[in-house]
A and B are shown apart, each in its own frame.
Chain A
């Protein structure tokens, strides 16, 4: 192209800019751009808990041994064709699917299909402290730590190429659900071997290889992720040629991109009522098992004092928060468990709003004149908390009434924020939890058990032996009524000790252009682009 042509083309471009959308349809018809709210911390769900990372990786890149049936949330086969549980619940045998191919990419070419070695590799990495990939680049396995996986699983045994057996120390009624959750992905043992030879172990979580419907093409930190379809995917092949995660932390920018057509689907939309007015946009709402809460750092004064925590629980006007932040569309939380969980206890009493009681409690606790505290407000939107900053401002105003001065901390990037909170930098934090599977254990154990304290999911650092024992007892029985009783007792302890103040349970929203067809969200876990297509 010579100089004259270049100048001419520039001029033409400037003149015809508004017409260019017509030319690119061929490309955009085959691609989906999803505007996500943040960068993934890792490309391996084993090592993370944040929903942002799960959305970006789990269902796109990987498969699990088991999966959930979207309709009734029953467990159904995935990479395991079938399975068998012994009567005492201590031995589970999986019969694996044959001819499942791993991704072929610029950095890895598989020579064999999926087999028992991959299952052993994936789980031994987590279980075996001496495994060469166990602590590569300092990773941890917060989900598995929170469910106490390593003390539960005694051994993973290879019976033959396509059969593996998990031997447990005791029976656990949530074990299969945990294996079907987004975290229990299968990674390639052959890839691990290759990395080990060239001594680049840390690439296992940065340049992912899985069996999932998409494979990684390009990732530019903080900017975008580009996925190509996996040509030899074992299930039905995907219908698009490109899947792009456009990382857009700003809520307004995401909506703007949706309105201007720069994104096909956006995560956590704001102004949901406004979106419904556009005929070319749809708003999806999915009931999700979640809870948004204000967590107290029980290791730091003044929140090591139960009375102070209680006082704050009385002083916060939850009803106003529901009206303002959730536009009245969420359920006010009585306890950590939402109504749709089977262990929900309707008889539990509701937290009352009473500034007077709060003042009295604060006086009893020895802070008649109040104190200064900080609230860390999560910087991203989540279903359980669409606007933590504004919520923090409301709480700030509420606590002002009982003489407590609140400093709001915000502005950190999401992964940095989670890391700082994990290290216990906060006094109190607005966060939440979305369940990975329907078992109530997935609520209580990760957010409040001793094992998960300070490891990523229990940010209150709270540890109560009685509470933990009740959770353990509940897991060892399969009798639902018995389990319900245990959970009710456990929740009574939480209500008395107030390590956190549950605020709301809400639906998960997502907005998309009407051109995009196919189901994207399930009740549990991250977004799934496997079945998506475009008109």
Chain B
């Protein structure tokens, strides 16, 4: 519904809309964004879309090469594995496991991390120093190592892997939120609303969050590419997804023994991981650019 303009007012787009404006201008980034959306939809709808079951063995069609091979079969577009399971279906199902779950993991740790981060930004004194030290320690340990440590404690399994990665990602969100909130708090417009009598919570939700949301989204894309790589790496090492699940990393390690007979069982899951990480990173890169440009103007 169009608004009636009574006064000659100038409309300021919100920071998020501004960023989107700059974001849209880069074609490569938009390709990445498109791929990201594609993967996202695939993750949700893969159970309906897969041509075959990704678990059921089909012993009449073992190790069929992809369709473009001489011995390939068009009905198995990307070939089959050593139990005759259709690679395409498994890769599609894998999208909801590797990509979809990494998305969920990032959302959970984002919510927790932003919450802790904003609270800690408002605290000072000894608690804050302790938290800073603690964050320094945690952030200096690489995410995969930390995830391996946590899985070692909780025991192997997909659920434990996901919790481990959630725990690993939280400090990053705490760190970035805390710094961003602190920066904003020192700005004049916050002082203005403080003088208006707004309490800290109100300032946070009405003034600060709209201004730092792109930073958090940018961090989320970084976190997601790390999460995809970590879930896949743990799956590959046999510490993550259990056996029949077509998680991409676990699929790849399943293909290892077939490396010389059926190389597609190794390179296809690898390419899937690469594709999803590149798509995520492109979105992140686009965000960074857009942020920088909107700051410059």
User: Do A and B touch each other in the complex, judged by CB within 8 A?
Assistant: yes
A174 to B238, CA, bound (A): 44
CA A252 to CA B259, docked complex, whole Å: 7
11 pairs from A and B in contact (CB 8 Å cutoff) = A250-B256, A252-B257, A274-B261, A323-B59, A324-B59, A324-B83, A389-B243, A392-B243, A393-B57, A393-B83, A397-B56
**How far does the Cβ of B193 sit from chain A's closest Cβ, in whole Å?**
57
Number of A interface residues, CB 8 Å? 23
- A408-B56 in contact given A252-B257, A270-B257, A274-B260 (Cβ < 8 Å): no
Mask of B57-69 contacts with A, CB within 8 angstroms, 1/0: 1010010000000
- Tell me if A390 and B83 are in contact (CB < 8 A): yes
Q: Is the C-beta of B210 less than 8 angstroms from some C-beta in chain A? A: no
B window 62-112: CB within 8 A of A: 62, 82-83
| B156: chain A residues within 8 A (beta carbon) | 411
Is A527 at the interface (CB under 8 A from chain B)?
A: no
Q: List residues of chain B with CB within 8 A of the CB of A408.
A: 242-243
- Asked if B159 is at the interface of the complex by the 8 Å CB criterion, the answer is no
Closest beta carbon of chain B to A393's beta carbon, Å: 6
Chain B 232-265: CB-based contact to A (< 8 A → 1; otherwise 0): 0000001000111000000000001111110000
Q: Give which listed residue, B82, B244, B260, B261, contacts A396 with CB less than 8 A.
A: B244
Please report which residues of chain B, range 6-61, place their CB below 8 angstroms from some CB of chain A when the two chains form the complex.
Answer: 55-57, 59
Docked-complex contact A255 and B82, CB < 8 angstroms = no
Chain A to chain B: the 3 pairs with minimum beta-carbon distance, closest first: A271-B260, A397-B57, A271-B261
B176-215 CB contacts (< 8 Å) to partner A: none
Closest to B81 in A: A390
Complex contact B59–A255 (CB within 8 A): no
Which A145-162 residues have C-beta < 8 A from chain B?
none
Contact with B257, one of A251, A323, A394 (Cβ below 8 angstroms): A251
Whether A320 is near chain B, meaning CB under 8 Å from some CB there, is: yes
Q: Is the pair B238, A411 in contact by a Cβ cutoff of 8 Å?
A: yes
Encode contact with B along A443-463: 1 for CB under 8 Å, 0 otherwise: 000000000000000000000
A387 on the B face (CB < 8 A) = yes
Chain B: minimal CB distance from A416 (Å): 15
Bound form: Cα–Cα A323–B55 in Å: 19
Residue-by-residue, is A118-151 near B (CB-CB < 8 Å gives 1, otherwise 0)? 0000000000000000000000000000000000
Q: How far is the CB of B239 from chain A (nearest CB, A)?
A: 9
CB pair A324–B257 under 8 Å, yes or no, is no
Q: How far is the CA of A394 from the CA of B58 in the complex (A)?
A: 10
Residues in chain A near residue B82, CB distance under 8 A: 324, 390
Residue of B nearest to A275 (CB): B260
Contact surface of A with B, Cβ cutoff 8 Å: 250-252, 255, 270-271, 273-274, 320, 323-324, 387, 389-390, 392-394, 396-397, 407-408, 410-411
Please tell me if the beta carbons of A320 and B59 are within 8 angstroms of each other in the complex.
yes
CA distance A390 to B258 in the complex (A): 12
Whole-angstrom distance between the Cβ of B89 and the nearest chain A Cβ:
15
When C-beta atoms are compared, the residue in chain B nearest to A396 turns out to be B244
How distant is the Cα of A271 from the Cα of B265 in the complex, in angstroms?
Answer: 14
* Neighbouring A residues of B244 by C-beta, 8 Å: 393, 396
Classify the interface of chain B: helix, strand, loop or mixed. Answer: loop
Q: Is B57 in contact with A387, judged by CB distance below 8 angstroms?
A: no
A252 proximity list for chain B (CB < 8 A): 256-257, 259-260
DSSP class of A's interface residues: helix, strand, loop or mixed?
helix
B259 nearest CB neighbor, chain A only: A252
Q: Min CB distance, A381 to chain B, in Å? A: 9
Please name all residues of chain B whose beta carbon is closer than 8 Å to the beta carbon of A271 when the two chains form the complex: 258, 260-261
Are B56 and A393 closer than 8 Å at their CB atoms? no
**Chain B: minimal CB distance from A324 (Å):** 6
Kindly report which residue of chain A lies nearest to residue B82, judged by CB atoms. A390
Bound-complex Cα distance A250 to B244 (A): 20
Report chain B residues within 8 Å CB of A389: 243
A250's nearest neighbour on chain B, judged by CB, is B256
Residues of A within 8 A of B83 (CB): 324, 390, 393-394, 397
Task: List the A side residues contacting B258 at CB < 8 Å.
Answer: 271
User: Closest Cβ of chain B: how far from A390's Cβ, in Å?
Assistant: 6
* Option from A255, A323, A392, A394 in Cβ contact (under 8 Å) with B260: A255
CA distance A271 to B156 in the complex (A): 30
Contact residues in A for B56 (Cβ distance below 8 Å):
397
Q: Which residues of A sit under 8 angstroms from B243, Cβ to Cβ?
A: 389, 392-393, 396, 408, 410
B261: chain A residues within 8 A (beta carbon): 270-271, 273-274
A475 to B70, CA, bound (A): 59
Among B56, B258, B260, which residue has the most Cβ atoms of chain A within 10 A? B260
**A255 contacts which chain B residues (CB < 8 A)?**
260
Among B59, B256, B261, max chain A CB count under 10 A is at B59
Give B243's nearest chain A residue, CB to CB: A408
Bound-state CA distance A347–B56 (Å) is: 36
Beyond A251-B256, A387-B257, list 10 extra A-B contacts (CB 8 Å). Answer: A251-B257, A252-B259, A274-B261, A320-B59, A323-B59, A389-B243, A390-B82, A393-B57, A393-B243, A396-B243
The residue in chain B whose Cβ has the minimal distance to the Cβ of A255 is B260
Contact of B62 among A270, A324, A407, A410 (CB under 8 A): A324
Report the minimum CB–CB distance from A61 to chain B (whole Å). Answer: 31
Docked complex Cα distance between A392 and B57 (Å): 12
CB distance from B159 to the nearest CB of A (A): 14
Bitwise, B251-282 to A at CB < 8 A (1) or not (0) is: 00000111111000000000000000000000
| Inter-chain contacts of A323 with B (CB < 8 A) | 59
| Assembled-state Cα–Cα distance A185/B55 (Å) | 49
In the bound complex, what is the Cα–Cα distance between A408 and B245 (angstroms)? 12
Bound complex: CA of A273 vs CA of B258, how far in Å? 12
B66 to chain A, nearest CB (A): 18
A393 neighbours in B (Cβ, 8 Å)? 57, 83, 243-244
A102 CB, min distance to chain B CBs, angstroms: 42
Least CB distance, B164 to chain A, in whole angstroms: 18
User: In angstroms, how far is the closest chain B Cβ from the Cβ of A355?
Assistant: 14
Q: Tell me the bound Cα distance from A175 to B164 in angstroms.
A: 57
Shortest B209–chain A CB gap in Å is: 45
Nearest A-chain residue to B238, judged by Cβ: A411
Most buried by A among B244, B257, B258, B259: B257
Residues in B whose Cβ lies below 8 Å from that of A410: 243
How far is A387 from B256 in the complex, measured between Cα atoms in Å? 13
Query: Could you tell me the distance in whole angstroms from the C-beta of A172 to the nearest C-beta in chain B?
Result: 43
Residues in A neighbouring B257, C-beta threshold 8 A: 251-252, 270, 387
Closest chain-A Cβ to B15's Cβ sits at a distance in Å of 49
Q: Give complex CA distance A390, B257 in Å.
A: 11
Q: Which residue of A lies closest to B266 (CB)?
A: A252
Complex alpha-carbon distance, A387 and B261, angstroms: 15
Q: Which of B156, B242, B243, B259 has the most CB of A within 10 A?
A: B243
Tell me the smallest distance from the CB of A278 to a CB of chain B, in Å.
11
Give complex CA distance A252, B260 in Å: 8
Of all chain B residues, the one with the shortest Cβ separation from A389 is B243
- Cα distance A67–B290 in the bound complex, in angstroms: 80
- A407 to B157 CA separation, bound complex (whole angstroms): 12
A410 to B56, CA, bound (A): 21
For B57, what are the chain A residues with a Cβ–Cβ distance below 8 Å?
Answer: 393-394, 397
- A396-B258 Cα distance, complex, nearest whole Å: 20
**In the complex, A255→B256 CA distance in Å?**
11
Residues of B within 8 A of A320 (CB): 59
Q: Which residues of A contact B62 (CB under 8 A)?
A: 324
The distance from the CB of A257 to the nearest CB of chain B, in whole angstroms, is 13
Q: How far is the CA of A390 from the CA of B242 in the complex (A)?
A: 13
Instruction: Quote the shortest CB–CB distance from B212 to chain A (angstroms).
Output: 44
Q: Which residue of A lies closest to B62 (CB)?
A: A324
A255 to B258, CA, bound (A): 11
